[in-house]
Amino acid sequence: MSEDRGDIQALIAQIARLPGLGPRSARRIVLHLIRKRAGQMSQLASLMAEVAENSRECAICGNISDQTVCAICEDARRATGEICVVTDVADLWALERGRAFHGRYHVLGGSLSALDEIGPDDLRIPALIARISDEHVTEVILALAATVEGQTTAHYIAEALAPTGVTVTGLAQGVPIGGELDYLDDGTITAALRARRRL
Amino acid sequence: MSEDRGDIQALIAQIARLPGLGPRSARRIVLHLIRKRAGQMSQLASLMAEVAENSRECAICGNISDQTVCAICEDARRATGEICVVTDVADLWALERGRAFHGRYHVLGGSLSALDEIGPDDLRIPALIARISDEHVTEVILALAATVEGQTTAHYIAEALAPTGVTVTGLAQGVPIGGELDYLDDGTITAALRARRRL
């Protein structure tokens, strides 16, 4: 295309590489931003630069924060003796949106995977074990994905924590709230049936 | 959520407002960027600030450029006497990707719409009329959408250009390349049939 569009083309290419986007949606976003350049675009650019500059992993739990230690780990009210182990910060955010958990988190940063050569030391598992005694933890809740990788990781962690004597629990599996049986996969129905409860 | 995530939350909210995105995809993008903050995120932020700072509308055709006059209008080889009128810069980009048009463009910046109170003066139509004599234009190709608004706009421009004596043409309508009749809407099939050609 025209030679003077180098920067715009580069911006489109970068945005197209973001998860869930492609060249078409990137072009649409860039055009939208250019139309509003006075306001939205410079604001977005400076906010992005600020977040890029300031955000770091919490030294204790791996959550994303603009402090060395995140607000959840700083908050004394959340020292409930429960640690919820999640794969990723996105999962931590999802649990926080639910407002049902009042303890602290531990972000693994991935799942064990022989294929991708991700071992326990890549996943902040040693740091988790260290926290058990440091923080007088009584229960570790493994809120990991109900996938093969997630469950392999959960199994590994449960084994690794066995010597500490801490209670290790996992999320219940079953029919999601509002879920119609007709639309559920067989695996979920089977799991929900196996874990059936007396009413 | 945690109080120290103000900037990140603000960034998610801004990205969620971009076309085609929402809170979920915005969270995913922001987490992806934070993970790569050293590289991709600051690069994206500075590129975005640069584009926000430098991009402007070409004074002649309305294309987006970092110069007062865009590369296409600057390029003497593109003074073919043909002007292709498009609704939007996205359409100009689409035509440039096709590499079939070698003249210059005129970006209207929208379609006529009584409902949204968009009249000819809002659409750079006077500027188009001025270009006809200024640039010795022989043909104006109306590459506008095959929608009611697009065709109303095309009709209005054709009328407005009649006194200049310039040839006004429109894109052919018909079956798209690779299009299977079975999947086409009735309007397209009807248009393609009406405009049938001897082989």
Q: Which residues are B141's β-sheet partners?
A: B84, B169
Q: Which positions in chain A touch B25 (Cβ < 8 Å)?
A: 19-20
Q: How many CA atoms lie within 13 Å of A70's alpha carbon, on the beta-carbon side?
A: 24
A2 falls in which pLDDT band (50, 70, 90)? very low
A4 falls in which pLDDT band (50, 70, 90)? low
Residue B125 and residue B156: Cα distance in Å, rounded? 10
- Residue A1 pLDDT greater than 60, yes or no: no
What residue spans in chain A does CATH classification 3.40.1360.10 cover? 77-170
The whole-chain average pLDDT of chain A stands at 87
Pairing of strands B167-170, B139-142: parallel
The CA-atom distances, in angstroms, between A167 and each of A86, A158, A163, B175 are 16, 9, 11, 66
Instruction: Report residue A163 as tokens.
Output: 């010597």
Query: Is A64 at the interface with chain B, CB within 8 A?
Result: yes
B157 falls in which pLDDT band (50, 70, 90)? very high
Which single residue is written with the structure tokens 């973001």? A18
What residue spans in chain A does CATH classification 1.10.8 cover? 3-54
For chain A, state the CA radius of gyration: 22
Q: Which of B18, B27, B52 has its CB closest to that of A29?
A: B18
Tell me the residues of chain B between 14 and 33 that have a Cβ less than 8 Å away from chain A.
14-15, 17-21, 25, 27-33
Contacts of residues A17-22 at CB distance under 8 Å and 24 or more positions apart, as own/partner, are: A17/B40, A18/B29, A18/B32, A18/B33, A19/B25, A19/B28, A19/B29, A19/B32, A20/B25, A20/B28, A20/B29, A21/B29
pLDDT of residue A5: 66
- Mean pLDDT, to the nearest integer, of B63-87? 92
Taking CB atoms and an 8 Å cut-off, how many pairs form between chains A and B? Answer: 167
Task: Return the number of other C-beta atoms located less than 10 Å from residue B68's C-beta.
Answer: 12
Q: Please report the ipTM that was assigned to this predicted complex.
A: 0.74
Which single residue is written with the structure tokens 């715009």? A8
User: Are B18 and A1 inside 8 Å of each other by CB?
Assistant: no
Residue B150 and residue B110: Cα distance in Å, rounded? 9
How close does chain B come to A55, measured CA to CA in Å? 7
pLDDT of residue B2: 45
Residue B154 and residue B148: Cα distance in Å, rounded? 10
pLDDT tens digits for range A98-137: 888 899 999 998 899 888 888 888 899 999 999 998 888 9
Residue A181 and residue A175: Cα distance in Å, rounded? 8
User: Are A45 and B49 inside 8 Å of each other by CB?
Assistant: yes
Q: Which residue of A has its CA nearest to B10?
A: A47
CATH architecture of A3-54: Orthogonal Bundle (1.10)
pLDDT of residue B181: 77
- Of the two residues A25 and B182, the one the predictor is more confident about is A25
pLDDT of residue B4: 53
- Answer whether A193's CB lies under 8 Å from A181's CB: no
A38 falls in which pLDDT band (50, 70, 90)? low
For chain B, state the CA radius of gyration: 22
What residue spans in chain B does CATH classification 3.40.1360.10 cover? 78-170
Residue A146 and residue A187: Cα distance in Å, rounded? 10
pLDDT tens digits for range B14-61: 999 999 999 999 999 998 888 876 678 888 888 888 888 888 889 999
Tell me yes or no: is domain B78-170 CATH 3.40.1360.10: yes
State which fold the A77-170 domain adopts: Dna Topoisomerase Vi A Subunit; Chain: A, domain 2 (3.40.1360)
